[in-house]
Chain A
Amino acid sequence: SYVLTQPPSVSVAPRQTARITCGGINIGRRSVHWYQQKPGQAPVLVVYDDTDRPSGIPERISGSNSGNTATLTISRVEAGDEADYYCQVWDTNSGQPWVFGGGTKLTVL
């Protein structure tokens, strides 16, 4: 089955840029989706189809995907961005097509 690899943690100072990676074999050929989960809350979709944002998600949050790495970028990081972030792909070749990365905890210093 397809495996997505995320770093367990990323730390960044306020107003700096955070980059959270999601690695997978030829992930650039797939569509990647990202979810934000704040403590005690349900996940929220923040990026879909590599680069698109649902309504209400600030432009500071963006995505990219190429080669073996997809990246979620959060510019001008705020304290309220502190959360766990999960990447997800749909793997048509698997009996369990819904694949999530292990999650990355973003800490705002």
Chain B
Amino acid sequence: GQNIDQPTEMTATEGAIVQINCTYQTSGFNGLFWYQQHAGEAPTFLSYNVLDGLEEKGRFSSFLSRSKGYSYLLLKELQMKDSASYLCAVRTDSWGKLQFGAGTQVVVTP
């Protein structure tokens, strides 16, 4: 079967750093995506990795190791508005289907 695993919930204080890990075992791999989803809203794109290494985008960075089947999303200088669910998704074929993890709920406290 296909598995994408992430922690269920993480709590951090405003201004801190949080790292959300994602491990995957899928039938194919053609890129890994991170999305942010606020309660009751649609997911919005955060980052994309297809090669090993770190991609940085402002306060958010994402890392990929294909040999380990592992990625993380790093959120720096946390703000209250970063409280949301963060979804790890793997594109399993060249046609575009995404397989999603269950999401990690990040709670930012004052």
**A and B physically associate:** no
